[in-house]
Amino acid sequence: MSTVFDFSAKLNNGKKKQFADYRGKVLLIVNTASKCGFTPQYKGLEELYKKYIKQGLEILGFPCDQFGHQEPGSDADISSFCELNYGVTFPLFSKIEVNGDDAHPLYKHLKSEAGGLFGDDIKWNFTKFLIGRDGTVLDRYASLTSPESIDRDIAKALKA
């Protein structure tokens, strides 16, 4: 059975990142966008990251332009926007697709492990997946779920 640690993706600086490097960490994987009503969630994500990084949390942001063309910029534009507006320090990856034939293999895996309420496809920006230290998907959260509201789940996963 595969886990998140079997995948890799390109960081927004162009370097390939093996997720095996995150083995033993709790991950929160989020598809993001800079021009979305949920974009202010970057602030809450960064707060969670700062609160829990020393305990083993990594937040991984995956910009995606599949929902209302709300992530039109280049990887450099996205990185700059996130840093300047929200002080984002967690890793951002290159823009990907999360649905359809060209969906990133990581997202195909995540969706197969934790389907959504109305089917497996990602419905909008800022869908979140909580991954345990063993690389298995613990939970999936809809866009409406604020980062602050999953603090307890993250703390529980970090203690496991």
| Strand, helix or coil for residue 127 | coil
Predicted confidence (pLDDT) per residue in 98-157, tens digit? 999 999 999 999 999 887 666 689 999 999 999 999 999 999 999 999 999 999 999 999
**What is the secondary structure of 9-27 as a DSSP string?**
EEBTTS-EEEGGGGTTSEE
Catalytic entry in 26, 30, 36, 60:
36
Could you give the residue ranges of the DSSP H alpha helices within the chain?
Answer: 41-52, 75-86, 105-113, 151-159
Please, is 67 exposed, middle or buried when counting C-beta atoms within 10 Å of its C-beta (0-12, 13-18, 19+)? Answer: buried
* pTM tops 0.85, yes or no: yes
Note down the domain range covering 46: 4-159
Q: What's the CATH number where 78 sits?
A: 3.40.30.10
Active site (annotated) includes residue 64: no
Tally the domains of the chain: 1
Give residue for tokens 């002080």.
Answer: 87
